[in-house]
Structure 1
Amino acid sequence: MARHIYQCPLRWSDMDAFGHVNNVVFLRYLEEARIDFMFRLAPGDGSPSFSGGSVVARHEIDYVRPLVHRHEPVTVESWVTKIGAASLTIAYEIKDAQQVYVRASTVVVPFDLEAQRPRRISAEERSFLEEYVDDSAGGVDGGSGALAA
């Protein structure tokens, strides 16, 4: 099982009035890591996998501790906890070497932009995603998600 690692820079505008990264900004960090995982690392040169569109069906996020703005990036680790016929669940930790700041999960639905409707996960996409499955690590609450066919 592999985890996708994304180094996410913190921006001055990410701070709230208390000098912490604002809660809603963490969703942007997750989005950046998810895009890097699903699109830049999509299988095969010129592969259409994942590029046809996807939508977020659900986010779950636990804020473990405040993240104070700094110049060093945070690490966003991503892995897959569930693959269904037409959706997948990605789990994340936003952290540095000392601590975890956020644990989260996102349900993603592949989407056919032309037809404007959800679509099934292709065999190529499933094969790529299976390399990142870790159902023992669970999602936000630490529960396990099963790999569904």
Structure 2
Amino acid sequence: MDAYGHVNNAVFIRYLEEARINFLFRPDKEFKQGSVVARHEIDYKRQLVHRHHPVDIELWVSEIKAASFTISYEVKDEDLVYVRASTVVVPFDFETQRPRRITAEEREFLREYTDEADEEAVAA
């Protein structure tokens, strides 16, 4: 919270980080070799005033490339969007200290959370 009683802009980065970690590093599926953030983009839509109940974060995969993918987010309540954001994530091999390509298993996992997956579910 900043001096004006609003959630500080830096806190939104932490919210996105927590959502991304919960998404990528789950017991059933995860990016075992690791990943790093290449870029964040955040559009602040309205102020989020400090309160004692949580805010929702919707997350989906908006783009998958050979060696990176983009996660998109909305930080919101039911009827208000506070932030729209995206993060470019690069799979990373910490042993070699180099970026790596997305594996077939990772690509399959990521596709489950794209808009394409939603369209396929509606068509089925």
Structure 1 and Structure 2 fold alike (TM over 0.5)? yes
Runs of 4+ in 1 over 4 A off after TM superposition: none
Unaligned runs of 5+ in 2: 117-124
Cα distance, 1:51 vs structure 2: 2.5
The residue number in structure 2 matching 1:116 is 97
Three-state SS of the structure 1 residue aligned to 2:25 is helix
The residue number in structure 2 matching 1:24 is 10
The residue number in structure 2 matching 1:53 is 34
The residue number in structure 2 matching 1:83 is 64
Cα distance, 1:53 vs structure 2: 1.2
The residue number in structure 1 matching 2:122 is none
| Structural mapping, 1:99-138, within 5 Å | 99-134=80-115
Cα distance, 1:85 vs structure 2: 0.6
Contact 1:38/1:50 (<8 A) preserved: yes
- Report how many residues are paired: 116
Q: Which has the higher contact order (CA 8 A, sep 6+)?
A: 1
Write the distance in 1 (CA, Å) between the matches of 2:27 and 2:65: 20
| Structural mapping, 1:131-146, within 5 Å | 131-134=112-115
Contact 1:42/1:50 (<8 A) preserved: no
Normalized against structure 1, the TM-score is what? Answer: 0.75
Greater percentage in helix: 2
Normalized against structure 2, the TM-score is what? Answer: 0.90
Between the two proteins, what is the percent identity of the paired residues? Answer: 72
Compared CA separation, residues 54 and 82, structure 1 to 2 (3 A) = same
Deviations 1:87-117 (A, max 9, x none): 0000000001120000000000000000000
